[in-house]
């Protein structure tokens, strides 16, 4: 079982700092002083706060960094006209039953493979004109997000469309009587 998510200040969290510096090394964001960020953007950025969301599973803690774009007003100024519909568990059950019914030997089973897209949201680049809205300050440094950040209103839809395309292309390489693919956020199940 999972305990409730807890929001804590990113300023005090060493995991947030190391995650952000690692993302900067990967080229997903950059950090520097205020003047260098202004020069790069060509104008003043709109700062957002960062939060760390911790999910606790027994003796394991998973932390995510969220760019809080509500308080800066960015979320309120943007609109979301579509939603991503996630597959249902029952869809996987029906696909499994269908695959089993197509087997010549009733003793043949079905194997499942689950993979994970690492840093899923971080693979979607921002347009240069959007970057002024994706800046946060932590420990005296300014972080400019070059990729879609968790916490932005459009990031789930951007990733959902990308993952749907990847999943459809992957499924098209397989005979549907041999393999079926369902993707839940960033975890494809084949």
What pLDDT score does 8 carry? 55
159 has pLDDT over 50 = yes
What pLDDT score does 4 carry? 43
- Reference 135, options 62, 40, 13; nearest CA is 40
- Reference 186, options 111, 125, 124, 121; nearest CA is 121
CB-based contacts of 87: which residues, under 8 Å, 6+ apart? 182, 183, 184
In this structure, the number of other CB atoms found within 10 A of the CB of residue 74 comes to 20
137 has pLDDT over 60 = yes
What pLDDT score does 103 carry? 87
| Total residue count of the chain as it appears in this document | 190
What pLDDT score does 150 carry? 77
Total-model pTM: 0.75
Compute the distance between CA of residue 51 and CA of residue 67 in angstroms, rounded to an integer: 7
Average pLDDT for the chain = 84
Cα 166 from chain centroid?
15
What pLDDT score does 173 carry? 95
Q: What is the mean pLDDT of residues 159-180?
A: 91
What pLDDT score does 149 carry? 81
């Amino acid at each position: 079982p999972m305990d409730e998510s807890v929001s804590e200040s990113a300023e005090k969290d060493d995991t947030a700092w190391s995650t952000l510096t690692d993302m900067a090394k990967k080229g997903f964001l950059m950090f520097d002083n205020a003047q260098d960020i202004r020069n790069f953007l060509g104008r003043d950025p709109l700062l957002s706060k960062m939060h760390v969301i911790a999910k606790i599973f027994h003796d394991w803690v998973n932390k995510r960094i969220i760019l809080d774009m509500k308080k800066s007003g960015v979320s309120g100024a943007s609109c979301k006209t579509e939603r991503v519909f996630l597959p249902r568990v029952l869809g996987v059950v029906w696909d499994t039953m269908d695959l089993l019914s197509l087997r010549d030997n009733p003793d043949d089973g079905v194997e499942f493979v689950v993979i994970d897209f690492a840093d899923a949201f971080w693979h979607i680049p921002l347009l240069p004109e959007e970057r002024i809205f994706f800046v946060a300050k932590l420990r005296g440094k300014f972080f400019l997000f070059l990729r879609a950040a968790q916490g932005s209103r459009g990031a789930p839809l951007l990733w959902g469309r990308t993952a749907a395309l990847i999943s459809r292309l992957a499924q098209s390489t397989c005979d549907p009587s041999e393999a079926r693919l369902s993707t839940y956020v960033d975890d494809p199940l084949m």
